[in-house]
Structure 1
Amino acid sequence: MALDAEERPSQPITKFESMLKTDDVYFFDAEDFEDIIHHYLNNGKIALAKKAIKIGLQQHPESIEIKLLHIEVLVFENKLEDAEKMLDELQTLDMHNEEIYIQRANIFSKKDNHIAAINLLEKALEISEDTFDIYSLLGMEYLFMDDFELAKKSFMKCVEFDDEDYSSLYNVIYCFEFLEDFDGAIHYLNDYLEKNPYAEVAWHQLGKQYFSKKMYKEALSAYDFAIISDDTFIGAYFEKGKVLEKLGLYNEAIENYETTISIEDPTSHAYLRIGKCHEKLGNTDMAKYYFYHTVHEDPLLDKGWLAITDFYYRLKNYEKAAYYINKATNIDGENPLYWKKCGKIKTALNKLDEADFAYKQAVDFGNYDLDTWLLWADVVQKNNDLESAIQILKQGREFHPDDAAILFKLSGIHSLLSETKKAQKYLAEAIILNANGLEKFQINFPEFCATDWMKNILEQYKNASK
């Protein structure tokens, strides 16, 4: 297994690199070669690792450890058949080397046979004294299989071995979150923090769990402890700012976002949040200033362009809103929320064909909200395509079968087509589901409401509501 990636070049590494620059050949112990190879693998210098392996095997042709490192490189390069042949040879020499099972497991994992990989890793556990890395590999295999419960247990083992293994700690919490067991995550983190009270990463993760449960005061406390543990922890300041926003404390939120900028280089996300806070405070010019800084810092951040879009939409400057929503859709053309916003803007500009297209895109990319169907049908209706409006509403009804709004709308459009029986049918169904929509229906379709049949329905409704 690879050593610590943070290791500094040792004397053997310096000596090895000096050898490569000359025609001299130096002798190294097999253990030195292992350290040299690990160093290059950990730093992503595969070519140098392969050179060290070649020379190492020339000097120590029987070294199983160097051969295993050679196999690790072969697996990394997807030369799986060559790796398997070498493993077969090694297994005849050493049946009880856990690394052989680990590398076979890596090969099966590469072939997406995760069950076989897990079986081999479990065999490695049986014969290994150092099981830390094996549990980490097991956790990843379970993640590949979407077995988050067993993955969580494997990563918990890693944290038990090393309570500063934050990578495994993150994975444990990820599993809790995927299982939507936020209470379990909170309990686990609190237990962890009793033993490690100054672990800023754990406090940060605890704050996020409280935030998910809308326990904002508890989240603030957790982030404060994270900052006490490490006053340069940018993530804690940023997340604390988000909590303060939820509590309506926008000036305090801005202070935390500005702290992240003072600690490190500014980020587009910090500028975006500051802009949102200023907008909530009514500081229009400051909001615009920070929104523009957002997209200047990261021109590919679609949320930045959307923030500017929303800013101008609220000011009813629809031309500018249209310009900036185009920027957002150019960056992420499959985002249904952007297309929905585009539909609203084009409607406000009375560009009905373009609005029709935008709402179609929103639906095609997965936005099935009730108001999306209704807004789309409104646009098509305004464009005098009543038949298409009916088809849109019928399609929307498949996603919202028990909502009266679509039925009221269907009734009204059929009335415009003089299809009285269909109009009456849908209206009767709508009233049964939710009669409160009648008042709006009367405003939108006054001519139909003036008919004798409709007057009778309204009279019955009034009598029933007394």
Structure 2
Amino acid sequence: MEEEFEFGFTEDPKFSVERYEEMIRNQDLYFFDAQAFENIIDYYIEKNDPARALQVAEYARNQHPFAAIFLIKQAQLLVVTNKVPEAFAALDKAAMLEASDADIYIIRGNLYESLERYSEALENYEKALDLAEETDEILLHIAYVYQNMGDYDTAITYLKLCLKQNMENQDALYELAFCYDVMDNQQESVQFYQQYIDNEPYSYAAWYNLGNAFTKLSLFEKAIDAYDYAILIKDSFASAYFNKGNALVNLEKYAEAIEVYRQTFEYEQPNADTYCAIGECYEKLEQMDDARAFYKKSVKMDPKLADAWFGIGVTLDFEERYFEALHFYKKALDLDIANADFWFAIADAEYKLGHLPEAEKAYEKVVELNPLDVDAWLDYSSILYEQQKLNEATEIIAEAIKNNPESAELYYRIVAYLFAKGEYNEALNNLEYALTADPDKHYILFDYLPQLQNNKVIIDIIARYTR
């Protein structure tokens, strides 16, 4: 007959675990009180061993059949091991034993949320709200459900309630920023974080989110001040350094940005994005060797980072090494095929190499992906004009004007092409449009066709608009 020992909750949790493992080894049957079993289950959860924790929960249920806690623990573990029907069944049994335990409804809400059965998730979370002592995490979950349903206004209401319960709930602060972001409501975001900071001036997360909201409003000086406060409160806050670096880049303070980006390395492992950002700063400072070195570090760390491959191409292009640049531009394009900037760089490099048909194809792709890129339309038409394809060049600019009816540059360019084709009346009509859009840019016309500076009709028309 098996010998039975009893272990109580006064003992050290580690001792309970050792005794439990000894029982399994010896194939004995020891009795543990409920608290000891909880300690053992929690130990295996912390060790990330859900299978062993489930085994303990089963033992615990056999020895304490009326304790709902072990059914609840079992349900939590079944969720982790993706056994959804079994988790629901365990929760139903737990509810029969102790219907007033909030955890039952929180876990059930989690399950329904993961199944995208949102109304049932909300129903369970609302029940949990009535039963739980601390409700900030439940309010956060309700906010998540409304986010998933696309109802960001209601999500914001619950996130604010969550923060009212617990001003230090970092997740709620970040989710609130996310909701304002999706709704593109940065003004309200700024207002909220400023009010929040009045009550919680030492919340580094609030200062950080305020900085992000200012950044999105292009108020970069204010953003930098907010990031500085976040860093002052938590000097190891790498994300605040990184975003401060980005704000400095937007102010074209590239040397300062490099220093700030480098500070992130003191608090977190260097990563591909930061190396790439530093590379871009050196590129803007025209220190191409340094730029290339950092872009190379970036792709070594993350070979899928298209911007870094592109950056290497830009540094080579700057040194007029167009053939090599093209190789790296194409590597970037392979990773992000619909990036209009990559196509533009390829078109330009092909043109500089004298590969006009390839350049034409690439420009065609640029204007297809970004029909608002006036420079691309102008360059595309120029290539056709250079090859004496006057009709095609004119058609391209006409198409460009359809997409960008406010652009004076396009009207001046079509005037030049129409004059070159001998279509004077049409050219003069378009000249009036160009001068109406922006009379000061009439020099574009003479850049393209210098001989028109001697044309009295044109000079008179321009004089009417520029007096």
TM-score, normalisation: structure 1: 0.79
What is the match of residue 462 of structure 1? 463
| Alignment CA distance shift 1:170-1:346 (3 Å) | same
Deviations 1:12-55 (A, max 9, x none): 45554555555344433344444544555566533333323333
Cα separation, 1, equivalents of 2:240 and 2:456: 62
1:247-282, Cα deviation, whole Å (9 max, x unpaired):
555444433333333444433344334444444555
Which residue is equivalent to 1:159?
Answer: 163
Find the aligned partners of 1:39 and 1:249 in 2 and give their Cα distance.
51
Three-state SS of the structure 1 residue aligned to 2:304 is coil
Structure 1 residue 59 corresponds to structure 2 residue 70: no
Q: Percent identity?
A: 27
Instruction: Name the structure 2 match of 1:136.
Output: 140
Structure 1 partner of 2:241: 237
Name the residue aligned to 2:314: 310
CA distance in 2, matches of 1:430, 1:344: 27
| 8 Å contact kept, 1:336–1:367 | no
Cα separation, 1, equivalents of 2:321 and 2:464: 47
Per-residue deviation, 1:351? 1.8
Q: Which residue of 2 aligns with 1:290?
A: 294
Alpha-carbon spacing, 1:322–1:205, altered in 2? closer, same or farther (3 Å): same
Looking at structure 2, the residues matched to 147 and 426 of structure 1 have their Cα atoms a distance apart, in angstroms, of 49
Deviation at 1:90, TM superposition (A): 4.9
The 5-angstrom pairing of residues 49-448 of structure 1 reads 49-76=53-80, 79-88=83-92, 90-91=94-95, 94-247=98-251, 249-281=253-285, 283-363=287-367, 365=369, 368-382=372-386, 389=393, 392-393=396-397, 395-410=399-414, 429-436=433-440, 438-444=442-448
Question: Kindly tell me: are residues 168 and 464 of structure 1, through their superposed partners in 2, closer, same or farther at Cα, counting changes over 3 Å?
Answer: closer
SS in 2 for 1:27: strand
The AA in structure 2 aligned to 1:462 is A
| Cα distance change on mapping 1:309 and 1:130 into 2, 3 Å | same
Change (3 A) 1:403 1:364: closer
Whole-angstrom CA distance in 2 between matches of 1:355 and 1:16: 73
Judge conservation of contact 2:309–2:331 (CA < 8 Å) in 1. Answer: yes
After superposition, give the CA deviation of every residue in 1:439-464 in whole Å (9 maximum; x if it has no partner): 423543579x699xx96465344345
* Equivalent position amino acid for 2:336 in 1: D
1:38–1:401 Cα change, 3 Å: farther
Whole-Å Cα distance in 2 between the matches of residues 17 and 422 of structure 1? 93
Q: C-alpha distance in 2, partners of 1:391/1:276?
A: 37
Q: CA deviation at 1:95?
A: 4.5
Contact in 1 for aligned 2:440/2:466 (Cα 8 Å): no
**Aligned mates of 1:438, 1:125 — CA distance in 2:** 69
Q: Using the TM superposition, give the Cα deviation of residue 140 of structure 1 relative to its aligned residue in structure 2, in angstroms.
A: 0.9
Q: Which residue of 2 aligns with 1:4?
A: none
Alignment CA distance shift 1:405-1:225 (3 Å): closer
Structure 1 102/267 Cα, relative in aligned 2: closer, same or farther at 3 Å?
closer
CA distance in 2, matches of 1:66, 1:389: 77
Task: Measure how far apart 1:328 and its partner are.
Answer: 1.6
Residue-pair matches, total: 456
Kept in 1: contact 2:66–2:97 (CA 8 A):
no
CA drift of 1:322 comes to 1.4
Tell me how large the CA RMSD over aligned residues is.
3.9
Q: Deviations over 1:409-454 (max 9, x none)?
A: 556556666777766665555555445555423543579x699xx9
Q: Is 2:413–2:444's contact at 8 Å kept on the other side of the alignment? A: no
Residue 338 of structure 1 deviates from its aligned partner by 1.7
Q: Deviations over 1:262-317 (max 9, x none)?
A: 44443334433444444455544434433333334443332222222222333333
Give the partner amino acid of 2:149.
M
Gap change, CA 1:367 and 1:265, over 3 Å in 2: farther
Distance 1:66 1:276 in 2: 56
Alpha carbons of structure 1 residues 60 and 342: separation in structure 2 relative to 1, 3 Å: farther
Residue 152 of structure 1 aligns with an amino acid whose one-letter code is: I
1:23 equivalent in structure 2: 27
Q: 1:9 to 1:350 in 2, by over 3 A?
A: farther
Q: Which piece of structure 1 moves more, 217-226 or 162-171?
A: 217-226
Alpha-carbon distance in 2 for matches of 1:198, 1:79: 43
Alpha-carbon distance between aligned partners in 1 of 2:141 and 2:344, rounded to the nearest angstrom: 43
Distance change >3 Å, CA 455–CA 333, structure 1 → 2? same
Give TM-score, length-normalised by structure 2. Answer: 0.79
SS, match of residue 333 in structure 1: coil
